[in-house]
Amino acid sequence: MSSRSIAVAMTERELQRNVIDLAVWLGFNLVYHTWSSIHSPSGFPDLCLCRPSDSTIIFIELKSERGTVTPSQEAWIRGLKECGQTAYVFRPADWFSGAIEQALAPRTHRGEV
């Protein structure tokens, strides 16, 4: 089975578990996910990851390969970026391409000073 086929079959929940496990392994010791957003304003990203050791905070919206980003989700991602925060929309294909691992890697491993 190709990575494309696996990506299409991967659910958002499976992707979330993978991303959280990777984040913890890469030193994010604070991971937040709203269990139920029923009484919360719509659009806030699925994950907020915090790694105090290098002052990194990342917001992530997760989608299946076929999932659609809503206008309120787009507004949150755009607003966070405009405020100087790091925010992404990730899909299973990003998991298989290595883009998620690269985004979560400590700065010293991303070629930054």
d(CA 35, CA 18): 16
Half-sphere exposure of 96 (CA within 13 A, CB side): 16
So what's the pLDDT on residue 113? 40
| Domain spans in the chain, listed from the N-terminal domain onward | 3-109
In CATH, 3-109 is 1.10.10.10 = no
pLDDT tens sequence across 4-51 = 666 678 899 999 999 999 999 999 999 999 877 777 888 999 999 999
Averaged confidence pLDDT in the chain: 90
So what's the pLDDT on residue 107? 75
